Amino acid sequence: MSMSSHQTLLAEIAVRAMRENGFVPEPPPDALAEVARCSGPDAAGAGGGGGAGAGASLPDLRGLPWSSIDNPESRDLDQIEAVEKVDGGVRLLVGIADVDRFVPSGSATDHFAGANTISVYTAPRVFTMLPERLSFDLSSLVPGQPRWAMVLETLVRPDGTVGDGRVYAALVENHAQLNYPSVSAWLDGQAAAPAPLANAPTLRAQLELQAEVAHQLAGARRRAGALDVDTHETRAVLDEHGHVQSLVAHVQDRAGRIIEELMIASNRTVARALDSAGLPSIRRVVREPERWERIVAYAGEHGHRLPPEPSSVELAKFVDKMREKHSPEEFAEISVSIVKMMGRGEYVAHMPGEKEIGHFGLATAEYVHATAPNRRYPDVIGQRLLKARDGGRARPPYDREALMAIAARCSEREAQAQKVERRVHKSAAALLLAPRVGERFSGIVSGAGAKGVWVRVFAPPVEGKIIRGGEDLEVGAKVRVRLQDVNVEMGFIDFTVVHG
């Protein structure tokens, strides 16, 4: 099979998987026409936009030392960050792309985004939640361009706890588009500062202070019981011809942890702002595990005793112990097992004053998704609710029933998006392994149940089904296997156990 054939096949599989899972792969013509009429702010800060609040006078914060950190290939830049020392701690400012300005409620673009609710990331292409002219341009916080944003401002105390905050619209500009690997290497002392920081001492100082603030935030969350898992999820790397070159396991690096902490704190600020204004919201929750007894038994198998009642603090201690005791590959399997037993995250409607469900894994009560509106529909809904507060509307734009329906739709679509991504990833892995049928690999049993036994091999990091010889194997067992067969169309990778 030629390289171009690989690219075409994976792209076809991706589109088919999107449709089979209920997604609309391409924006409809009326949405594209709406977006074609949109424009961003000019150098003076004015401009069309086409959405709510267009033309309104906004604070001009373009002079702040904003920067972004994302994946090297990312084009849909949702957030930029800046920090400054103040009395009582550090003031964290996160600028979030004002997507609502371009996507009015009830518009054709809104219907398209509300149907899919999420961007779907596959190896051959990204299926963006919004038309690409928005995701990659007008509502992307690309460097050197004025952009409208919602600014999330949060006080971070020296002990890492979150203090007062506020949310408001402003004009911003990204001064440095950075990526996780290069920033991590620089902060860890393994490489020089990346190019955008080389001759920018102010921006370098910004990143160093952001790292300090993130460390404080992480410490506070860990004391509260936040889980520090690492599942080593893999992604396929394609060359310019679409040929699968490798599968790379994602390991959370230092820069990734910085952004994670800054976003968690900022999302809490949005939740508090909506509550204080008496407005409903869509919370992002992970409930207390209903199958806690399974987690207790699993910890017992690894020599650790957990209490009979759910405790994120005690579970975090078990996770930390496993990280110290096991290899990165083994810890990844333990992490995956714990995440599966905890249950998936979901969106729920929340009214001010209601009891919080909370996010068990993050060890935080009030929490929303607000920092990725180019990629997630709940974040757009949150922007509309915040603007209703600022506009002094007598009623919020959504009542409880509407938010319940949107939350349920977003939870369901997120689960289906993960199915699409896994489906395409399996086909990419099968393509990579196709020339290696008959070879032997070392791995670890990653799943065992009524439907079969699965193994994750270490190099390349691929998961497949054991079709012969795995009847007595348990999760976590190390094993040698032979690649028996692959099916690229179906995404099947089959192994047999090698005895002796």
> In this structure, are 307 and 364 located in the same domain?
no
> In this structure, are 297 and 415 located in the same domain?
no
The pLDDT, as a whole number, for residue 493 is: 97
Is the bond preceding 310 in cis, omega lying within 30 degrees of 0? Answer: no
What is the domain-level CATH number for residue 486?
2.40.50.140
Picking from 195, 210, 186, the residue whose alpha carbon sits closest to that of residue 259 is: 210
> In this structure, are 324 and 233 located in the same domain?
no
Find residue 287's DSSP bridge partners. none
Q: Strands across the sheet with 162-173, in order?
A: 79-86, 89-97, 146-156, 162-173
Q: Lowest-confidence range among 77-81, 468-472, 494-498?
A: 468-472
Picking from 60, 68, 53, the residue whose alpha carbon sits closest to that of residue 103 is: 53
> In this structure, are 163 and 195 located in the same domain?
yes
For residue 13, is pLDDT > 60?
yes
Q: pLDDT by residue (tens digit) across 293-328?
A: 999 999 999 999 999 999 999 999 999 999 999 988
For residue 500, is pLDDT > 50?
yes
Residue 51's pLDDT band, with cuts at 50, 70 and 90, is: very low
Residue 312, helix vs strand vs coil: helix
> In this structure, are 177 and 313 located in the same domain?
no
> In this structure, are 308 and 318 located in the same domain?
yes
**Alpha helix (H) ranges present in 201-253?**
201-224
> In this structure, are 348 and 338 located in the same domain?
no
Give 30 or 331, the one with higher predicted confidence: 30
Q: pLDDT by residue (tens digit) across 164-190?
A: 999 999 999 999 999 999 999 999 999
**Interatomic CA distance for residues 52 and 171, integer angstroms:** 15
**Mean pLDDT throughout 1-5?**
53
The pLDDT, as a whole number, for residue 217 is: 97
Residue 53's pLDDT band, with cuts at 50, 70 and 90, is: very low
The pLDDT, as a whole number, for residue 50 is: 54
The pLDDT, as a whole number, for residue 45 is: 66
For residue 233, is pLDDT > 70?
yes
Q: Which of 384, 406, 430 is the last residue of a domain?
A: 430
Could you give the number of structural domains in the chain?
3
Residue type, 472: D
The pLDDT, as a whole number, for residue 375 is: 98
> How many Cβ atoms sit within 10 Å of the Cβ of residue 178?
23
> How many Cβ atoms sit within 10 Å of the Cβ of residue 450?
4
Q: Which of 403, 430, 457 is the last residue of a domain?
A: 430
Residue 52's pLDDT band, with cuts at 50, 70 and 90, is: very low
Q: pLDDT by residue (tens digit) across 381-414?
A: 999 999 998 766 657 899 999 999 999 999 999 9
> In this structure, are 330 and 390 located in the same domain?
no
CB 336 within 8 Å of CB 231: yes
> In this structure, are 197 and 255 located in the same domain?
yes
**Interatomic CA distance for residues 473 and 187, integer angstroms:** 43
**Mean pLDDT throughout 280-295?**
92
- Give the highest mean pLDDT range of 64-78, 241-255, 387-401: 64-78
Give 500 or 51, the one with higher predicted confidence: 500
The pLDDT, as a whole number, for residue 54 is: 44
Radius of gyration of the chain (CA): 23
Range(s) of the domain holding residue 325: 292-342
Q: pLDDT by residue (tens digit) across 152-167?
A: 999 999 999 999 999 9
> In this structure, are 218 and 245 located in the same domain?
yes
Q: Lowest-confidence range among 140-144, 319-323, 362-366?
A: 362-366
Q: Which of 430, 445, 466 is the last residue of a domain?
A: 430
> In this structure, are 48 and 149 located in the same domain?
yes
Which residues contact residue 426 at a Cβ distance below 8 angstroms, ignoring those fewer than 6 apart?
491, 492, 493
How much is the mean pLDDT over the chain? 92
391 to 40, 56, 394: CA distances (angstroms): 22, 12, 9
* SS (HEC) of 27-53: CCHHHHHHHHCCCCECCCCCECCCCCC
CB 169 within 8 Å of CB 390: yes
CB 323 within 8 Å of CB 331: yes
Q: With the C-alpha atoms ordered 226, 230, 234, 235, is the resulting torsion angle positive or negative? A: positive
What's the whole-model pTM score? 0.92
The pLDDT, as a whole number, for residue 241 is: 74
Q: 462 is written with which tokens?
A: 């691929």
DSSP state, 113? Answer: H
> In this structure, are 313 and 448 located in the same domain?
no
**Interatomic CA distance for residues 320 and 312, integer angstroms:** 12
